[in-house]
């Protein structure tokens, strides 16, 4: 299987991520770009950038799995799989003892249970509301006049936090406006926002349960304050990938690789 390469293209609501691996599963390149308004173009652009970074041509890629909410728009993909399965497979390859994946994505959050081969066993997703997602943080960052990096700075988890709703982004934003009007320190508001997301995620986790090690994926895993609060709430240490945003794309690449291997086995029967 020399010189065979596989890719996963994850077209999410906020970012489009591409991962390219070789036949042994070694990661050759990873790219994250904003999705913007055209998922198809973003996929094309991110894929070309990942090829360039890996010093490969398009013809050299044997299998490409499209995933994410825009998976149907990736015309050059050889297969498509939901981001739920892809995050499970990606987390498994990074942390083989993973039994539970928490993915906090741009427009939705998921808790996924996987088996020892990385296959999804069960999952739950947030419903019809951006509370507990990356979009929630983005909206609040705008309201607080902070950028996402500032919002992600490590915070003292023992400090005070302002009470903020964990059930609705719109209500939460109104609460933030009221808190600002009362001159509540921004640090307390940020802390309250993180706690709000953590509470939301925790309720999803309790509905499905925790098995094995827990791996956190999605861009929100960069938020150190939130990670600390989530670890405190769950009472465990989370696996945090080096590139949490590309775990879905990485899983997609591994699924493309597995599909190719399965097809070889089927041909040889």
Partner 1 sequence: MLRFSKHEITINEIIKNMNIPDRSEYLKGLAQTGQKIMGVLPALYPRELLWAFDIHAAEIWDPPGEILHANAHLQTTICPVVKKSLEFILKEPQTINAGYLFPHTCDSLQNLGTQVKDLIGVSLPIYTFYNPKGRFNNTTIKYYQDILINFQSILEASHGPLEPEKLKAACVLSHKIDTYLMVIQQARMTDHLSLSNHEYFTLMRAQEYLLPQDYLSLLEQVNILEKPAEFSRARLMVSGILPPLPEILVFLDELGVSIVADDLLAVSRRIPKFAMDPPGSPLDYLTDRFFVLPPCSTRGGDLDERVHYLSNRLKESKAHGLLFDMVKFCEPELFDHRLLVKTFRERKTPVLTLETELEDHISGQDKTRIEAFTERLFEIVST
Q: Which residues bind to partner 1, rule: CB under 8 A? A: 69, 81-85, 108, 119-123, 125, 127-128
CB of 123 to partner 1, least distance (A): 6
Looking at beta carbons only, is 179 or 250 nearer to partner 1?
Answer: 250
Looking at beta carbons only, is 195 or 200 nearer to partner 1?
Answer: 200
CB of 268 to partner 1, least distance (A): 17
CB of 130 to partner 1, least distance (A): 11
CB of 181 to partner 1, least distance (A): 28
Write the DSSP string, 215-261.
EEESGGGG-HHHHHHHHHHHTSPPB--SSGGGHHHHHHHHHHHHHHH
3-state secondary structure of 147: coil
Which residue bears the tokens 């956190």? 216
Strands, sheet with 27-34, edge to edge from the N-terminal-most edge strand:
27-34, 15-22, 5-11, 61-67, 79-80
Looking at beta carbons only, is 61 or 84 nearer to partner 1?
Answer: 84
Cβ atoms of residues 63 and 260 within 8 Å: yes
Q: CA 253, 242, 70: angle at the middle one, nearest 5?
A: 40
Q: CA 49, 51, 57: angle at the middle one, nearest 5?
A: 135
Looking at beta carbons only, is 162 or 197 nearer to partner 1?
Answer: 197
Sign of CA dihedral 232, 237, 238, 241: positive
Looking at beta carbons only, is 122 or 160 nearer to partner 1?
Answer: 122
CB of 69 to partner 1, least distance (A): 5
CB of 174 to partner 1, least distance (A): 18
CB of 93 to partner 1, least distance (A): 17
Looking at beta carbons only, is 183 or 207 nearer to partner 1?
Answer: 207
Looking at beta carbons only, is 127 or 145 nearer to partner 1?
Answer: 127
Exposed / middle / buried, residue 90 (Cβ in 10 Å: 0-12, 13-18, 19+): buried
What dihedral angle (degrees, nearest 10) is formed by the CA atoms of 76, 245, 189, 159? 170
Looking at beta carbons only, is 22 or 108 nearer to partner 1?
Answer: 108
- Structure letter (DSSP) for residue 67: E
CB of 71 to partner 1, least distance (A): 9
Nearest to 246 by CA among 13, 18, 3: 18
């Amino acid at each position: 299987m020399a010189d065979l390469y596989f890719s996963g293209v994850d077209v999410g609501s906020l970012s489009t991520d591409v991962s390219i691996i070789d036949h042994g599963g070694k990661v050759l390149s990873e790219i994250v770009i904003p999705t913007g308004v055209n998922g198809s173009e973003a996929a094309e652009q991110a894929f070309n950038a990942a090829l360039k970074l890996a010093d490969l041509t398009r013809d050299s890629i044997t299998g490409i799995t499209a995933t994410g909410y825009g998976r149907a728009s990736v015309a050059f993909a050889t297969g498509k799989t939901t981001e739920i399965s892809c995050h499970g497979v990606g987390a498994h390859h990074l942390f083989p003892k993973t039994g539970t994946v928490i993915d906090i994505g741009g427009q939705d959050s998921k808790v996924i249970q996987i088996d020892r081969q990385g296959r999804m066993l069960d999952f739950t997703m947030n419903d019809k509301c951006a509370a507990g997602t990356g979009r929630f943080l983005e909206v609040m960052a705008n309201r607080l006049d902070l950028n996402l990096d500032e919002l992600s700075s490590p915070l003292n988890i023992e400090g005070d936090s302002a009470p903020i709703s964990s059930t609705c982004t719109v209500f939460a934003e109104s609460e933030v406006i009221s808190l600002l009007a009362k001159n509540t320190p921004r640090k307390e508001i940020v802390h309250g926002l993180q706690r709000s997301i953590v509470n939301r995620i925790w309720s999803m986790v309790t509905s499905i349960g925790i098995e094995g090690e827990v791996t956190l994926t999605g861009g929100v895993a960069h938020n150190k304050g939130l990670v600390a609060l989530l670890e405190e709430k769950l009472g465990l240490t989370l696996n945090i990938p080096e590139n949490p945003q590309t775990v879905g794309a990485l899983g997609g690449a591994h699924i493309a690789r597995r599909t190719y291997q399965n097809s070889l086995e089927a041909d040889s029967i």
